[in-house]
Structure 1
Amino acid sequence: MILPRLTLILPALLIATAANSQTPAQEPLPIVGGFQKASIEDAEIRAVADFAVSAAPKKVRLDKIISARQQIVAGVNYSLCLSVKPERIGLLAGGKFVAAKVFRDLNRNYQLTSWQAVKTCN
């Protein structure tokens, strides 16, 4: 009597176990306080990029936003990789890409904290 029940229960357990072992991988949870990917289509990211270009030490024009990340602190830190074009030839010795960092305080004031010519955007 026990043997027929086991022959029904055992295959059901094996199928359930196999189904659970093939669950798709989940995306990693964001790191609290860390930089998070931001959409390059977002209006706020565009405003930050425009500010960075206007505050740049050399006169350039924004060509394209390549990547953006943001970190929520007492305000927001933005880390951008931008494709830029010089307004005059010879102004960008390191290439046409720039890694820019901008801080936005709680009153929505921007401050360019870093501007560096880079060869590629990672």
Structure 2
Amino acid sequence: MTAYEKTCLIRGDGGRAVRAVLDRIGDTWSLLVVATLDGERLRFSELQQRVSGISQRMLTRTVRQLERDGLVSRTSYGEVPPRVEYELTPLGRTLLGPAVALAEWAVAHNRDVDASRASYDER
């Protein structure tokens, strides 16, 4: 029995918890936002500048979802103009280790994956 199977059997949810978390962090932007907030509190505009290619709409959706999941906190200041800052919660910081490991794996094996895709597509 694999560790994954054992975890799912213990929880009795058939992997639902794992799928729910992977759906959140496996989207296009969530891990990039989490990694960008590592050790920093950033304003929305700063966060958007640092996450290359993300639109304002998508960043808004992503930080709202991460806030809902308890990974990011949002602090709004009653100033003119309004100021909003985002930072990782303690729960969000626990995601950094696995996120960095996954990112490092992706970088290290990118060429292998590309070669496999090319080989598959040629068949």
TM-score normalised per structure 2: 0.23
Larger radius of gyration between Structure 1 and Structure 2: 1
Higher helix share: 2
Greater RCO (Cα-Cα under 8 Å, separation 6 or more): 2
